[in-house]
Structure formats: C-alpha cells, structure tokens
C-alpha cells in the first residue's frame, strides 16, 4: 500500500510521531560530518570581498568545466562538436561560448549527463517541482548535497538563525489528510524543531487555531510561502487579533513577493520578512541580508544575468560548482531579475517571476510585469491572473473587508492602463486562489 495512504489513516498523534521519525531521518542524513566540514568552509568565506569571491568562483568553474569534458559524455560531445577547448573557459564571462541548457535537452540526453566518475547507486536523487508541469528528477553527489545545506545555514546564520531554534513552517508539505476537516491542522516535527501547518486547510477556523498554537509555542522563526502567510496575516487584521509575541525572523520562499506584501507582513507581525532565491537544481542563489539588500551568492554557483532586452530584465542562468555527479552548465532557470553592480557585489533589485509569466496577445506580442497593477492596492490580500484565451484575461483577487467600490475602480484603472485595446479583461472576486500540487500559487495561469 502507498505509504501516504497508510499515513492518512493514522490518528493525529500517530501522524506527529511519523512526522518526527521522518524528521529524525532527515536530520541524520542532512547534518552529518560532511555537512559540518562544508559549513566551516562556507563560513570561512563569509567576510570575503566581492573580488575574492569571484576569484574563488572562477577557480571552481575551471575545475567543473574540466571535469565535465573529461567525465560527462554529453559535454565531451558538445565541446568537440562546437570545437571548443574547455581550457579556454577561465572565467564566468567565458561560458558564453556554450549554448544555454534547458530541461528539454536534459530529458532528451538524460543518461549522457551522468559523470562516469560516480557510482549512481551512491548518489542522492532530487526532484524539481516544475511549476509549469516541467518537473524532473536528477542526482547529486553527497558533497553537493552537503554544500547546498551548508550555504543555506551560512545565510541563516547571517540573519540571526541557528539550528536550535524552533520554526513555524507554512509550506507545501501534505502533513494533514486533505479530507480531514476536524482536529488540529498542524503536526510537529520534534527532531527538526518544526511546527508544520497545513496550508491546504486554510480558513478562518484553522487560522484561529494557528493563532493559539503560535502563542502557546512562540517559535522565534516563521518560514513559509507568501501565499500562506499573507492570508493568515489578513485574518489577524480583520479579526482584530495579533500574536502575543514578535517573531525574531520571518523567511519567505518558493514564490515571488511584492514590496507591498513585505510591508503588509511587517505591519501585522512586527518584523520585515526576508526573502531568498534558490531552486532544487542549485545553480543560482540570492540571499537577503539584515539591511534588506539581496545579493548573488557568488561562491556557491556561477550565475549569469543575461539581458532580455525588455525593461532591464535579465534571465537567470546558472552553473553548478558542486554537483559533479550530474552537472548542469548554463542551466536556464526560467526566472527573471533586475540588478546592479556595487562594491559589495551584484545586488538583485527585483525578482520578476518566470519568463512564462506574461499575457499573450493575439497579434503575437505579450504583456508582462503585471504585478505592478497591484502595488498600490492596500485592500487586496492576494491576486492571480488567469488567461482564458487570446481575447480574455481574468484578474482574480482575494479582498480584505475594507475593499470598496473605489478600490475596485482604482484597480480597474491600473489594469486598463496596461491592457485596454490589447485584450479583454475582467476582475473576479474569489475567496481563494488556485494552487499547484505543491501548494504554491502561480501568479499567471494560462489556459491557452
């Protein structure tokens, strides 16, 4: 029988036991001696200058490219077919001689991406979520797996977190059976020090329960999807409630977040949320600092920011520096950002979603960056755009009780400024947005 079917039949106390046993397994696997060694190395580079980090990155890049040519069949063939001497790639800029890699290419040549230097039975399998239905699995060597978590905890350390702290987690884990309406909508992972809240059961009754749980345990760290924390914050506001303590840190993950949402969460919880950027493939990461500035983690991966020619937007293309078992060179994350160069490094100014996040027009053109229409809408909790056809786009909004006809008129004017004369549109009020199977909310859904 499917393990999840067995889990879903257990009583709540037994599910907490099962969650804790899984948490113990993860703790032992993730935080071993290899992790500790990698963590020390990352911390030793914590105060390096931008130039030092770039020098380190390029040295690691040369080592990775050499390894790819000598042990990975796909890259050996690619370099030979293109008549590229791998030794000519010395710095990040030199990667431009290679084609950008996408998931379709990996699928088409899957077996050729494995390094001949590794025994596949000793590798760690990873799965990408694939928010547009393009998820797939790949493999990591154990050093790469340790490097991922070591660099995560360096970033956590820099914003005041440590592994002994309890965390309230609002993510996409299915820890409460979907059909279970009564009983607690959370479970506790004791070894991992996590109180895990089920975002698949969000409603006012559940929110009221969450307030009691948080006030009882007072976890100093709150982590979650923006699409879970913003509705919870909206409940606190409209019900006149607040947590009876101020969390030390709030971290956001997996979804884009607007400045308006950050300000809103700060107003409700009393602390500014911190956002980070990463992906399962571990080819590019950005970390936010206590001063709220976001920078590329230069010593973790080789990140290219390639101009798209539109609104200063750049494609985020990354190359692994640690996964020698199944390396990806110039991997297209499909994500977009704007940035500037400073003395401290490459500062990320905006994270603008994926390059599929646009409205397609009948004339072959497109409209993107539509999140701007919501930036002054203080009484809209959440929003999602659903393109029904080349002639119609629906703007689904979850409204706060204070939302008035004047707010709707202001929103309509903002949308019209972008779309009038280009495509039909309408505003649809809803109680909840569409989530994918991992609990994430995609800003634009296309039904084309």
Write out pLDDT tens, residues 94-107: 999 999 999 889 98
249, 158 contact by CB (below 8 A): no
pLDDT interval class at 346 (50, 70, 90): very high
**Residue 334: enclosing H or E segment and its boundaries?**
strand 331-342
C-alpha angle 304-145-24 in degrees, rounded to nearest 5: 140
166: nearest Cα among 193, 192, 201? 193
Cα–Cα distances in Å, from 398 out to 5, 224, 379, 434? 33, 19, 9, 11
Region of 421 (left: φ > 0; alpha: ψ -120 to 50; beta: rest) is left
Convert the pLDDT of each residue in 350-379 to its tens digit: 887 665 567 888 877 677 667 667 766 767
pLDDT of residue 356: 57
Structural domains in the chain, sorted by start: 3-28+166-247 (no CATH), 31-157+278-354 (3.40.50.12780), 358-446 (3.30.300.30)
Most confident of 15-24, 257-266, 399-408: 15-24
151: nearest Cα among 282, 53, 256? 282
The yes-or-no verdict on residue 9 having pLDDT over 80 is yes
Query: What is d(CA 93, CA 304) in angstroms, rounded to the nearest whole number?
Result: 8
Average pLDDT over residues 300-329: 94
Average pLDDT over residues 384-412: 88
The yes-or-no verdict on residue 173 having pLDDT over 60 is yes
287: nearest Cα among 371, 279, 278? 278
Average pLDDT over residues 305-328: 93
The yes-or-no verdict on residue 134 having pLDDT over 60 is no
pTM above 0.85, yes or no: no
């Amino acid at each position: 029988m499917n393990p999840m079917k067995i889990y879903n039949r257990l009583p709540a106390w037994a599910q907490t036991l099962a969650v804790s046993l899984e948490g113990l397994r993860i703790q032992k696997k993730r935080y071993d001696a290899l992790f500790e060694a990698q963590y020390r190395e990352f911390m030793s580079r914590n105060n390096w200058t931008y130039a030092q980090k770039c020098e380190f990155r390029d040295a690691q890049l040369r080592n990775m490219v050499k390894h790819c040519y000598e042990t990975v069949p796909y890259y050996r063939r690619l370099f030979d077919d293109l008549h590229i001497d791998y030794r000519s790639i010395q710095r990040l800029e030199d990667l431009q001689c290679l084609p950008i890699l996408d998931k379709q290419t990996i699928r088409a040549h899957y077996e050729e991406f494995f390094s001949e230097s590794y025994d596949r039975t000793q590798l760690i399998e990873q799965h990408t979520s694939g928010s547009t239905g393009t998820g797939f699995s790949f493999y990591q060597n154990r050093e790469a797996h340790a490097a991922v978590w070591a660099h995560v905890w360096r970033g956590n350390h820099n914003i005041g977190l440590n592994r002994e702290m309890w965390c309230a987690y609002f993510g996409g884990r299915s820890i409460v059976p979907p059909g279970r309406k009564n009983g607690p909508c959370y479970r506790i992972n004791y070894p991992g020090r996590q109180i895990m809240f089920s975002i698949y059961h969000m409603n006012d009754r559940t929110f009221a329960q969450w307030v009691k749980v948080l006030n009882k345990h007072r976890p100093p760290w709150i982590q979650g999807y923006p699409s879970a924390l913003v509705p919870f914050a909206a409940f606190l506001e409209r019900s006149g409630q607040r947590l009876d303590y101020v969390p030390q840190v709030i971290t956001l993950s997996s979804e884009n977040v607007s400045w308006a949402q950050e300000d809103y969460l700060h107003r409700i919880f009393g602390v500014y949320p911190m956002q980070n950027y990463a992906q399962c493939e571990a080819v590019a990461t950005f970390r936010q600092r206590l001063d709220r500035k976001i920078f590329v983690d230069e010593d973790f991966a080789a990140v290219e920011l390639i101009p798209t020619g539109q609104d200063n937007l750049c494609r985020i293309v990354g190359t692994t520096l640690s996964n020698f078992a199944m390396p990806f060179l110039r991997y297209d994350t499909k994500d977009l950002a704007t940035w500037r160069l400073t003395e401290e490094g490459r500062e990320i100014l905006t994270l603008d979603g994926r390059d599929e996040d646009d409205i397609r027009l009948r004339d072959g053109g497109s409209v993107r960056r539509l999140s701007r229409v919501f930036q002054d809408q203080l009484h809209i909790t959440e929003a999602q755009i659903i393109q029904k056809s080349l002639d119609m786009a629906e703007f689904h909004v979850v409204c706060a009780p204070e939302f008035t006809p004047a707010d709707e008129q202001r929103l309509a004017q903002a949308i019209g400024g972008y779309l009038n004369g280009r495509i039909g549109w309408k505003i649809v009020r809803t109680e909840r947005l569409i989530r994918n199977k991992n609990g994430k909310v995609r800003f634009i859904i296309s039904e084309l």
